[in-house]
Chain A
Amino acid sequence: MYRKFLNARSPLRLLEKGLHGGLGPGNLGIVVAGHGVGKASFLVGVALDELLRSGRVLHVSMAHPVSHIRDHYDTVFAELAATAHLEGEARLHVDIDRNRSIRVYPKNEFTPAKLREAVKVESETAGQPSMLLIEGLDFETISREDLADFKALAGELAAEVWMSVSYSKEQIAKLPASVERVADLVSVALALEPGDDAVLLRALKDHDNPNLTELHVALDPRTLLLTRH
């Protein structure tokens, strides 16, 4: 399969449809899940989709070392390429590596200022990111000002910013309290919930739409790929 067909058939298109156009540039999106359910795989899936559509991704982590995150991308991409019989896999892999930056910080050292600094360096050397992923941010302690600053940066870059939020339970009925208090800054919130054979994506917040629709997207725990469900 060629890249453009893969992009057209990506389950992310379905997700965008379910979210009335997707997250959108300049917005903050969060994915909430229990420990080990698949937040990182969701972020990698979203990032690979952006990379395959010629975007640039800056992946910030406070949870894992660089090698771990790179391995995660390699594994998911290899699976995606094999499943879709992707043409020109080797060349695409090189492109993906070149257009993705991974940055790792200790939890107590990461601030919006650090992110701005990183974006500046990246923009001057490799290129301006069109998507930012922030993994391992502590929503319990983050200040409203800091989150507003992340959102402002998303706006300045016209980039989508996805963040992962850990939750202590597997079933997530509503926005966790740590997110609820800053819900006005978050445009999209998704929950990942383990089902019988897949991890299901469910919208907890979709911009200002009061009626949340079903997303029909899941995460396959065996392949770590996002799939139609």
Chain B
Amino acid sequence: MIHDLRTIRNIGISAHIDSGKTTLTERILFYTGRIHAIHEVKGKDEVGATMDSMELERERGITIQSAATHTIWDGHHINIIDTPGHVDFTIEVERALRVLDGAVLVLCGVAGVQSQSMTVDRQMRRYKVPRMAFINKLDRSGANPARVTEQLREKLNHNAVLMQLPIGLEANFKGVIDLIAMKAIYFEGENGEHVVSNEIPEEMRDEAEVARESMLDAVSMFSDELMEAILEETVTEELIHEAVRKGTLSMDLTPVFLGSAYKNKGVQKLLDAVKLYLPSPLDGENTGVDLSNNEAPLTLASDPNKPTVALAFKLEDGRYGQLTYVRVYQGELKKGGTIINSRTKKKHKVGRLVRMHADSMEDIESSASGDIVALFGIDCASGDTFTDESVQISMTSMHVPDPVISIAIKPVDKKTVDNMGKALGRFVREDPTFRTRVDPESNETVISGMGELHLDVYVERMKREYGCEVETGAPQVAYRETISQRADFNYTHKKQTGGSGQFGRVAGHIEPMEDGGEDFEFVSEIKGGAIPTEYIPAVEKGFLQCMAKGRLIGFPVIGVRVVVDDGKSHSVDSSEMAFQAAGRGAFREAYPRAKPIVLEPVMKLEVEGPVEHQGAILKTIMQRRGTVIGTTESSGMSRIESEVPLSEMFGYATDLRSMTQGTAEFTMEFARYLPAPAEVQKELKEEFSSKIVDDDE
């Protein structure tokens, strides 16, 4: 167990696809001794980088799933959460960010700040994750770290400060000048493992002095002591480190480091910086909610002697069985100890506790607050909180967006149905934004998620990891129906088919709910036992059965209040079943008279791109029946907020890319249901009617 929490760094490495973060992670693991050979991403040696544990990721050269790995650098324990880089996997990124204390933002030295860097950076800001930047690929043609640093300032609004200068660039990239120690640092040996410190080359001395001065100017803003020392010319390295750390922790400063992970340059100095400047678990504040006190928020203490609180942030069903990655926020986890799942109240024994390397593991006896470890064979969902039995605490609930798109899937080979079931079960547990259900009518399995690519990846994972190839149907939008005016009902269900009959009469009205929310409300105003109390729930059930599938386009009905104020029963023929049928009949009677309408899901769409493309971006929104809410312009970038019907959003990523030469990026999430335009309603009604006719035939 790690006793000194000050030596823990829980960090993420986040970046745009192809910025080289997987290679960087690989090199970190190599230099810290966790792996003994270096493989390339998209490797010519066909092995692939170690952090990319999934075959799909290996093939695409991108990281989709976050995996945690532990390593040690200069007496400091570094847990690296490898965060995915694509916008469709936002929940993965956000879950990972939740458990991080700090992050390294990797930027390509040539491409600079790309759209995904902006998304990731925005997410980090939201979760208040202090970060430093690593400008990678300085060996590449066109690399320009000064320009990238400027972009960090302009596009991401970072107070980015170069802590190093490159010695040579592109093919001549040899090493870096450390502006704190004022030394030239070279990375020698076959894999750059020998860090050699030399005098700054004569021809770079002036440039280095100027750069150091400007670095000190920026950094001294965070330390009066350093400012005084500068005036008195008594600056020490420690004073600078302290000031940089202070600025970094308050997120007012982003120190920038340089290198080329692929060419084995700069990585060890970055690790030093992680140790020096990024926060330990003691530097941040973590809050949970007290389930025993009406969910009152409470601050958790990184104290091993307090009751245990741990968050399961990632599940993996790998070759060793189900692994649950947890971050311990308070107390400690012990092998052989008992923990309780705050959501299910189920008790679990901690059979095995492990530290994870990307593809191997190390058994440990216990783990203290602040640490990230994995549990074995514990049945839970991603986002669950574990505590010891003395407290009922849950980590603050994380925002989980509703799925916005569904597709039907069918295995190509019927023999693989079982595998499909296993795969879906696992995906649902791993990813709260991924849902699955069986359509009772078509008997098809329907999967839902956050975007087209999100679902594509699961379809592909089913094929690769579970050998189950599936055919996919057309994307389906989750429409709803609602009523627009009050309508009365007075329905009698009466059946006499020999033996005891069925009888039930219900009367009242249905009306739209004021907020048009998703809630259904059932109000009984029955007086004098017109409907016996025991049958009233059956009436409600009858209505609910009809609400599940509207009669306009076959989608669920929402926003309806049912008021039952009269009825009649029969001493022999009335039953629960009869009153359920009466409820259904009453709904069928009143619904068409209540002027039902179709509601469509409208998404909140945020597009960010350079100002010069805002006209093109606005056009993509207008063409999709979108309503622009507003535009925020800053530092040459515009962020356009709008609302667009989901049904118009298919293929948006491709369109936006082509309209803006790939410079814009977007995020979207469900906003609300709004009435669909008349022509859309007409089309949907016709489609539904034709289906009914087809079914009848």
Task: Please tell me if the beta carbons of A126 and B622 are within 8 angstroms of each other in the complex.
Answer: yes
> Does residue A66 face the partner (Cβ distance < 8 Å to B)?
yes
Using A109-B634, A124-B615 as known contacts, say yes or no to A102 and B629 having CB atoms under 8 A apart: yes
How distant is B530 from chain A, measured CB to nearest CB, in Å? 36
Say whether chain A's binding surface is mostly helix, strand, loop, or mixed. helix
Q: How many B residues touch A, CB cutoff 8 Å?
A: 19
Task: Please tell me if the beta carbons of A125 and B619 are within 8 angstroms of each other in the complex.
Answer: yes
> Does residue A116 face the partner (Cβ distance < 8 Å to B)?
no
Contacts of B675 in A (CB 8 A): 90
> Does residue A216 face the partner (Cβ distance < 8 Å to B)?
no
Task: Please tell me if the beta carbons of B615 and A66 are within 8 angstroms of each other in the complex.
Answer: no
A90 to B675 Cα, complex, angstroms: 10
> Does residue B641 face the partner (Cβ distance < 8 Å to A)?
yes
Task: Please tell me if the beta carbons of B633 and A121 are within 8 angstroms of each other in the complex.
Answer: no
> Does residue A114 face the partner (Cβ distance < 8 Å to B)?
yes
Which of A90, A106, A121, A124 interacts with B634 by CB under 8 Å?
Answer: A106
Contacts of A121 in B (CB 8 A): 614-615, 618
Using A121-B615, A125-B615 as known contacts, say yes or no to A66 and B633 having CB atoms under 8 A apart: no
Over the window 633-657 of chain B, the binary record of Cβ atoms lying under 8 Å from chain A Cβ atoms (1 yes, 0 no) is 1110000010100000000000000
Over the window 104-127 of chain A, the binary record of Cβ atoms lying under 8 Å from chain B Cβ atoms (1 yes, 0 no) is 111001000010011001001110
The A128-156 residues at the B interface (CB cut-off 8 A) are none
Say whether chain B's binding surface is mostly helix, strand, loop, or mixed. strand
The A63-122 residues at the B interface (CB cut-off 8 A) are 65-67, 69-70, 90, 94, 97-98, 101-106, 109, 114, 117-118, 121
CB nearest to B632 among chain A residues: A104
The A25-81 residues at the B interface (CB cut-off 8 A) are 65-67, 69-70
How distant is A214 from chain B, measured CB to nearest CB, in Å? 36
Contacts of A106 in B (CB 8 A): 634-635
A124 to B643 Cα, complex, angstroms: 19
A98 to B615 Cα, complex, angstroms: 16
Contacts of B689 in A (CB 8 A): none
How distant is A87 from chain B, measured CB to nearest CB, in Å? 14
Contacts of B629 in A (CB 8 A): 66, 70, 97, 102
Using A121-B615, A125-B615, A126-B618 as known contacts, say yes or no to A102 and B634 having CB atoms under 8 A apart: no
Task: Please tell me if the beta carbons of B633 and A105 are within 8 angstroms of each other in the complex.
Answer: yes
> Does residue B628 face the partner (Cβ distance < 8 Å to A)?
yes
A102 to B631 Cα, complex, angstroms: 6
A145 to B635 Cα, complex, angstroms: 24
Give the size range of A's interface with the partner. Answer: 20 to 34
CB nearest to A120 among chain B residues: B615
Over the window 603-637 of chain B, the binary record of Cβ atoms lying under 8 Å from chain A Cβ atoms (1 yes, 0 no) is 00000000100110011001000011111111100
CB nearest to A70 among chain B residues: B629
Contacts of A117 in B (CB 8 A): 611
The B574-625 residues at the A interface (CB cut-off 8 A) are 611, 614-615, 618-619, 622
Contacts of A118 in B (CB 8 A): 631
Task: Please tell me if the beta carbons of B628 and A109 are within 8 angstroms of each other in the complex.
Answer: no
Contacts of A125 in B (CB 8 A): 615, 618-619, 622
Task: Please tell me if the beta carbons of B627 and A98 are within 8 angstroms of each other in the complex.
Answer: yes
How distant is A138 from chain B, measured CB to nearest CB, in Å? 17
Task: Please tell me if the beta carbons of A101 and B632 are within 8 angstroms of each other in the complex.
Answer: no
Which of B622, B627, B630, B631 has the most chain A CB atoms closer than 10 A to its own CB? B630
A118 to B615 Cα, complex, angstroms: 9
Task: Please tell me if the beta carbons of A104 and B631 are within 8 angstroms of each other in the complex.
Answer: yes
Contacts of B643 in A (CB 8 A): 97
Contacts of A69 in B (CB 8 A): 630
Task: Please tell me if the beta carbons of A101 and B615 are within 8 angstroms of each other in the complex.
Answer: no
How distant is B251 from chain A, measured CB to nearest CB, in Å? 19
**Can you report 28 residue pairs joining A to B where beta carbons are below 8 Å apart?**
A65-B632, A66-B630, A66-B631, A66-B641, A69-B630, A70-B629, A94-B674, A97-B627, A97-B629, A98-B627, A101-B630, A103-B631, A104-B631, A104-B632, A105-B633, A105-B634, A106-B634, A106-B635, A109-B633, A109-B634, A109-B635, A117-B611, A121-B614, A124-B615, A125-B615, A125-B622, A126-B622, A126-B628
State the 7 A-B residue pairs at the shortest beta-carbon distance, nearest first.
Answer: A102-B630, A66-B630, A125-B618, A104-B632, A121-B615, A103-B631, A97-B627
Residues of A within 8 A of B (CB): 65-67, 69-70, 90, 94, 97-98, 101-106, 109, 114, 117-118, 121, 124-126
Residues of B within 8 A of A (CB): 611, 614-615, 618-619, 622, 627-635, 641, 643, 674-675
